[in-house]
Amino acid sequence: MKRVVVGMSGGVDSSVAAFLLKQEGYEVIGLFMKNWDDASVTLTSNCTWEDDLLFAEMVCKKIDIPLHTVDLSDQYRERVVNYMFAEYQRGRTPNPDVLCNREIKFDLFIDEALKLGADYVATGHYCRKETNVINNKPVHRLLAGKDPNKDQSYFLCQLSQAQISRALFPVGELLKPEVRKIADEQGLATATRKDSQGICFVGKVDLPTFLQQKLRAKEGDIIEIPENYYENIKASDDLKENTKAYQYKREDGKVLARHRGAHFYTIGQRKGLNIGGTGKPMYVIAIDVDENIVYVGRGDNHPGLYRKGLFINAIEVHWVREDLRLGINKSKEYLVRVRYRQPLQKAKLFAKSEGVYIIFEKPQRGIAPGQFAAWYENTELFGSGVIN
C-alpha cells in the first residue's frame, strides 16, 4: 500500500483530497503546516492558523487518518516573506505564493513527508498531473485543473520534475462545486468553509502596512506621463525594444501629487494614489525606487499601461518540461499568462543566450516585473520565469 502525506490546510480542497485518496486505497497521513503566526498583520480574523488546525483535526478524525503538524514558520519567513520584502524594496512585485509552493509546500514539506515514510505528497491544488514515459524516461506533465474557474497550475509554475514526481492532486479532476458536494456528503466540517484568500498562510493583508514592518515610508513625487510621450516612439521589431519597461525621467511629465513610498506601489495599480479631479482614473505605469518617483498615466487606455512583451533572465527561466526546453535562438508559440487567473494569451517565445523574450499577439496590460510569466501549450504548463 502506497503511503501519501496530504497537506491539510483546514480548507475544503485538501479535506476532499485526503478523503479521495483514502477511498482510492492509499494509506493517508495528514500533515498540517504552521507557517505564520503573526496575526498582527492580517486584515481579517486573527489567529487563523489555530482555526485552520482545528478544522484539519476535525476532518482527519472524520475520515480516520492521523494528523501530524510541523512548524515551518522560520523557513517560511526566510524563504518567502524576506523575499517579498527584498523584491518590493527593489521596486518589483513579487509573487509569494509561487515561491511558497516551490520552497515550502513542495520542498520542506516533502522532506517532512518523507520522514513520515511517504511515497507521495498531495495537496488540494486544482491542477492535474500526468506521467508519460518518453525516451524511456518518465516525464511528469503539469496540466491545468479541470475547473477553468479554479485552475491553480499557475501557482505551481516553478516546480521541477523531481518535485512533481512526488505530487498528487486529487481534486484537479473535479469542479469546485463537486468538491464542496463531496465534502458535504461526507460530513466534513470544512464543506462550507469560505475559500482562503490573500497570501497563503499569511492571509489578507494591507500590503503597504505589511511592508512597513521593514520598508520605510518615504514621500516622493507622483508624476503624470502624458499620452503624447509615446508619439515619437516608433514601432520596432527589435526584441529588446519591445520587451523592456519604459524608462521615464522626471522631465518627461508633470508632478501631480505626492506618494508615501514608491516601493509600496505596483504597475497597473489604481487604488491608493489619492489623486482626484482627473476625470479619468489614474494608473501606475512605472515606479522608480532610486529616484522615489511613481509614474502614472491617465485613463484606461494610456499607452504606458500596455506592453508588447517581456523579458526573463536566463538564470530565471524555468522549464517544467525540461525535455522540451527551447534551444538557444529557437522560437515557438505558446499561451502565456502573467498573473493568476488571467486568460491565456497567444505569444511567441524567443530563446536567446541572455534569456527568454516573450512577444504577445496583443499588447498586455500591467506587466509587473517580479511577477511570473508562465507558458502553456493547450492545458499543459511548460515553463515559467520571473518578469524582468
Instruction: By CB under 7 A, tell whether 32 contacts RNA.
Output: no
Residues listed for the chain: 388
Indicate if the alpha-carbon torsion angle 76, 78, 80, 82 is positive or negative: positive
* Half-sphere exposure in the Cβ direction for 303 (13 Å, CA): 12
- Least gap, CB of 73 to RNA (angstroms): 17
| Burial state string for 183-193 with b = 16 or more CB within 10 A and e = fewer than 16 | beebebbbbeb
CB closer to RNA, 95 vs 190: 95
Instruction: By CB under 7 A, tell whether 95 contacts RNA.
Output: yes
Angle at 139 between CA 138 and CA 141, to 5 degrees: 145
| Contact code string over 316-345 relative to RNA, x by CB under 7 A | -----------------------xxxx---
209 phi and psi, to 5 degrees?
A: -65, -45
Task: Determine which residue in the list 25, 271, 290, 329 makes contact with RNA, applying CB under 7 A.
Answer: 271
Is 380 within 8 Å of 141 (Cβ atoms)? Answer: yes
Of 60, 127, 157, 200, catalytic: 200
- Least gap, CB of 352 to RNA (angstroms): 26
Instruction: By CB under 7 A, tell whether 175 contacts RNA.
Output: no
Residue 176 cell numbers, joined: 469546485
Residue 263: DSSP 8-state: G
Residue 276: DSSP 8-state: -
| Contact code string over 3-22 relative to RNA, x by CB under 7 A | ------x-x-----------
Task: Determine which residue in the list 3, 73, 226, 281 makes contact with RNA, applying CB under 7 A.
Answer: 281
CB closer to RNA, 95 vs 163: 95
Binding-site ranges for RNA (CB under 7 A): 9, 11, 93-97, 101, 105, 123, 125, 149-150, 152, 155, 195-200, 204-205, 207, 266, 268-283, 300, 339-342, 366, 368, 371
Query: Residues with catalytic annotation?
Result: 100, 200
